[in-house]
Amino acid sequence: MNSYLALTKPRITWLILMSTGIGYYFGQSGPLNWLVLFHTMLGTALIASGTATLNQWYERDADARMKRTAMRPIPAGQVKARDALLFGLALLVAGEIDLAYFVNPLTAWVGLATVASYLLFYTPLKQRTWWSTTVGAFPGAAPPLIGFAAASGALTVEAWILFAIVFLWQFPHFYAIAWMYRDDYARAGIRMLPVVEPDGISTSRQILVTAAILIPVSLLPSFFSMTGHWYLAAALILGGLFLKSAALCARERTAVNARGVLKASVMYLPLLYLALVIDSRWLNF
């Protein structure tokens, strides 16, 4: 049972659900429908878990060649590849049914598009081009859209602002990971940017530029009446600290500085979400 749970990557699913919840929060109007929220989170958790499982099924040979992934359930022999495939498909089907039947069709379609773009485009592209990171950022930023569509039945500009924040946040986060584990990726034939350009100049530039662009984009909620002015200050401070870690990494391309970017990214998003919720509550009080 623990092996099957590991296939679903619960720590990543938690981050996905956090973004889905933020989307739902800003999409709702009137009293909170707890039943719809429950099924939104359940359906999203199921499709996220199914996607993670199928991704590991597809990449089982590459995972076996990397130190950081060699002990995942499939390459470690804890779960058979066929069983993982069936398990992942079952999770996806259950999640889509849940979203379509208990939430609304738009949410189910957004969920399906997210899964399809991740598994059919991002996953196979990882062994072909470093542009896979950009392609993967689209489904990676979809959870707020799923939550917003579940709450409102539509995708307005507010939903796309949340999408844009998560979209940009992913680049420093994943490029930092790619730099830290570039030797592992190279061993597995995964063409991440630090593998294609080993000097790290392009990687650090991507980290720095996207962290810088994230700052003005993160301010947009205040200009679209999603929050008050306190959020502006919080977003500027968090964005500035995130950018500082990116600048350190660009100046000195070391594993230590890359880990600093990773730690900053892991702290940035939950704290930004917290600021969004707190200031929007004050705005509506």
Residue 150, Cα to own-chain centre: how many angstroms? 18
Between the CA of residue 128 and those of 25, 132, 195, 206, what are the distances in Å?
38, 8, 12, 19
How do residues 15-32 score in pLDDT, each as one tens digit?
A: 999 999 999 999 998 888
Q: What is the pLDDT of residue 229?
A: 87
Residues 76, 120: Cα–Cα separation, whole Å: 25
Q: Are 9 and 49 in contact (CB under 8 A)?
A: yes
Q: SS3 of 32, please?
A: coil
Taking alpha carbons only, the member of 161, 134, 128, 174 closest to residue 27 is: 161
How do residues 36-78 score in pLDDT, each as one tens digit?
A: 999 999 999 999 999 999 999 999 998 888 888 889 999 988 9
Residues 232, 255: Cα–Cα separation, whole Å: 32
* DSSP-derived secondary structure for 237-261: HHHHHHHHHHHHHHHS--HHHHHHH
pLDDT over 60 at 285, yes or no: no
DSSP state of 184: H
User: Percentage of residues in the chain with pLDDT exceeding 70?
Assistant: 98
Can you say whether the dihedral through the CA atoms of 91, 178, 166, 129 is positive or negative?
negative
Residues 257, 8: Cα–Cα separation, whole Å: 29
State the SS3 of 111-157: HHHHHHHHHHHHHHHCCCCCCHHHHHHHHHCCHHHHHHHHHHCCCCH
Mean pLDDT of 201-226: 95
Between the CA of residue 51 and those of 104, 232, 250, what are the distances in Å?
21, 35, 33
How do residues 236-252 score in pLDDT, each as one tens digit?
A: 999 999 999 999 999 99
Residues 55, 166: Cα–Cα separation, whole Å: 21
Mean pLDDT of 84-91: 96
How do residues 151-165 score in pLDDT, each as one tens digit?
A: 999 999 999 999 999
- How many C-beta neighbours within 10 Å does residue 172 have? 28
- Tokens standing for residue 163: 């999408």
pLDDT over 70 at 177, yes or no: yes
pLDDT over 70 at 263, yes or no: yes
How do residues 115-172 score in pLDDT, each as one tens digit?
A: 999 999 999 999 899 999 999 999 999 999 999 999 999 999 999 999 999 999 999 9
Q: What is the pLDDT of residue 90?
A: 97
- How many C-beta neighbours within 10 Å does residue 278 have? 15
